[in-house]
Amino acid sequence: QVQLVESGGGLVQAGGSLRLSCAASGRTFSSRVMGWFRQAPGKEREFVASISWSVGSTYWASYAEFVKGRFTISGDNAKNTVYLQMNSLKPEDTAVYYCAAAAKLVRSSSRDDYDYWGRGTQVTVSS
């Protein structure tokens, strides 16, 4: 089992920045695939970004179109942690942000391909 714990959410004004962190513990993988999803009230959970990396190498990073150029995903192998740097935040970015991890090396934006999930952290962007 893999346990994921998100942190870094909060309230920020439009145009501001936040950095989310997701610490993984338990069973870990030498090559990791982790992602961020978000869910706004009344909406389905949607893909935000994902990354695959190993020691010293980032294999790929993928982003949803609506965050390209504003959000950056990165991983720290030594800390078993993945980050989501969010800049130029908009009110429509308001949601609960979830960290997810895949047991297989898949490049996917589908929730079904992720096996482990955190409990989420709230991000609220005021106008």
Whether residue 97 contacts residue 36, with contact meaning beta carbons closer than 8 Å, is answered with yes
pLDDT, tens digit, 9 for 90 and up, residues 32-83: 799 999 999 999 999 999 998 776 777 789 999 999 999 999 988 888 899 9
Whether residue 108 contacts residue 115, with contact meaning beta carbons closer than 8 Å, is answered with no
Across the chain, what does the average pLDDT equal? 92
Residue 30 confidence class, pLDDT cut points 50, 70, 90: low
Q: Which two tokens stand for residue 27?
A: 């069973």
Residue 120 neighbours by CB distance under 10 Å: 18
CA distances from 66 to 19, 59, 70 (A): 17, 22, 9
Selection from 82, 27, 18 nearest residue 50 by Cα: 82
Distance CA 5, CA 119 (A): 7
Q: What is the pLDDT of residue 32?
A: 77
Any idea how long the chain is? 127
* Residue 67, helix vs strand vs coil: helix
Q: How many CA atoms lie within 13 A of 121 on its CB side?
A: 19
Give the distance from CA 39 to its chain's centroid. Answer: 12
